[in-house]
Structure 1
Amino acid sequence: MSTGVIVLIVIAAVVIVLGAAVLALRARGGTRGSRGLKRRFGPEYERAVARHDGDTKAAERELAQRVERHGGLRERPLEPTEAERFEARWTAAQEHFVDAPREAVGEADRLLADLARARGFPDGAQYEEQLSALSVHHADHVQGYRHVHRVAHAPADGSGTSGTEDMREAMIEGRALFEDLMGASDKQRVGRS
């Protein structure tokens, strides 16, 4: 082979390797760009932008930091007996809502914290950190936990805005996160068998 052909082959190989590296970086960094973060965080993205008074760059930095901190978290599957206990607790909280809505929402708050902890998220005693981790892995439903927690910790003296309808809505939104966490565990259990 002539030197010119060898040089062309080497240049072509370098171009192919560089092209593959650029594509790999784009795919891996997809959650860092605006579109990737919007897609990953959904409504949580808009909430972060609003919390930063419309400053998308600040919101994106915060969300990227969440991904960096919690993106590698591996959710632990629940054992069948654990899953049954959580299901029974949620059912009991829903049934209790009719007679004592505030207590039922308080139980739902504790239950979501316990379920998240059991799945491998930070302990519920560190609510903000647990919420942050949940937002990375369950962004579409984390608002339900936030709503349940806010209502559960609102003053019981009537000065808060947590009427029965607000508590009912919190339970419905919280149920979506509960089902998401339980469903993710079901998928992992099935994958192991």
Structure 2
Amino acid sequence: MKGNALSSLWNAEKIVSIDGDYEEINTGLNRSSLLKYSNFIIGNSFLYGERNLLSLTADYVIDGNKIIRSENLFENFPSIKFKGKTVTVGFCPEIGEIACISTLHQHNSLQAIYPLPFRDSSIDEILFYEVLDYDIMREANRILKIGGRVYLIIRDQVFGGIDPRDSLKFLLKFYIESAQIKDNFWIIKAKKIRN
């Protein structure tokens, strides 16, 4: 919630939990580790990857006036060629990643959000499909090798997404190499240069 209005997870200032008791959780740092399993998560204008990951932590995710179900969480993301051991988060393109953090039940999908179930410095690339979260980015930094790359793919605000400048704050620990628009999506490429 932003003020009294519902908002997307990446832009939320607090989460209200009502489970027999009213509890406000400060999410000013956009931290997925604060999310508890719940029956409902209600917000507005969630990003695609947020919807997907929130579906792992709740029975029902309500975005504005729509109930989100994992079977209708498909998006036409631009294709990226993977190199080495790659993990995708928020979407499973099924074209070579070793693991995918998603609600999609495919052979390489993992039902986990935080912490990511990989060893330190063991992954070459991570692709985030519309997922903006400091805890998950910190985990990406932990599991990426030095020189490893992060790709952040987000829909442009003209097409119902966000201003790409808003996403850059989630990549503070990485060196931004490029940002380009392709098929209505921004592809921001960043590199891990130190632990």
Fold equivalence (TM over 0.5): no
**Which TM bucket (shorter chain)?**
under 0.3
Larger Rg: 1
The structure richer in strand per residue is 2
TM-score (norm 2): 0.24
- Quick one: higher RCO (CA 8 Å, sep 6+), 1 or 2? 1
